[in-house]
Amino acid sequence: MIVLCGPPACGKSALGRRLISAVGGKFVRTDDLGRRRYERLPELVEGATVVEGTFYLPSHWARFLRIGEDLFVVLVTCNVETALRRNKERGESIPPRAIIGIHRQFRVPPAVDLVLNTDLLDLEGALKVLLTSLSRRNYKYKVNENA
C-alpha cells in the first residue's frame, strides 16, 4: 500500500489521483471517510492501493501501522505560504487558520520512504520521482500507458 501523507494543500490528492491512474487500483482519501476516520482506518482502507491523508498526529499512525501490510510512505510537503496560496486558488476549501495549525502540529510519520517537496517539484515531476522510487524498491504495479 502506498500512503501519501502531509499537511493540507501540499498536493497529496492531486498526486494520488495521478498515481492511481498510472498504477491502477483503489484510491482512498481519508477526507472522504467521515468523522472518527483515524480510529477506523485499517478497516476503511482495506484493499486500497493508494491511501491519502494528513496523518499529522502520532495517534493517527498508531492504528494505521497495525495493518501489517508492506507500506510505502510518502511525505508530501510544502511551506505554509504555498499551502495557503493553493487553498485560496481552489476556493479556500479549508479555513486558513486550520492549515496554519496543522502545519505547526504536523509530526513526521515514524517511517518515511520518500519526501516530495512540492515547492520544488510540480505534479508531473513529483509523480516521476515517486514512480522511479517505487520501481527501485521493486514495488509491483502495472503502468497504465494511457495515464
In the chain, what are the domain boundaries? 2-121
Neighbouring residues of 117: CB distance < 8 A, sequence distance ≥ 6: 77, 78
Alpha helices in 5-141 (DSSP H): 12-23, 41-44, 58-64, 80-89, 96-105, 123-136
What local confidence, expressed as pLDDT, does residue 93 receive?
Answer: 79
Burial zone of 96 (CB within 10 Å; 0-12 exposed, 13-18 middle, 19+ buried):
middle
Cell triple for 28 = 482512498
CB 106 within 8 A of CB 9: no
Question: Which residue type does 74 have?
Answer: V
Phi-psi map region of 31: left, alpha, beta (phi>0 left; psi -120 to 50 alpha): alpha
What local confidence, expressed as pLDDT, does residue 46 receive?
Answer: 78
Pairwise CA distance, residues 83 & 7, whole Å? 8
CATH number at 2-121: 3.40.50.300
Q: What is the pLDDT along the chain (147 residues), one digit of tens a residue?
A: 899 999 999 999 999 999 999 888 889 887 776 666 666 777 777 788 898 988 777 777 777 677 766 788 999 999 999 999 999 998 777 899 999 999 999 888 878 899 999 999 999 999 999 999 988 876 655 444 444
The phi, psi pair for 140, rounded to 5°, reads -85, 115
What local confidence, expressed as pLDDT, does residue 68 receive?
Answer: 63
What local confidence, expressed as pLDDT, does residue 127 receive?
Answer: 96
What local confidence, expressed as pLDDT, does residue 146 receive?
Answer: 43
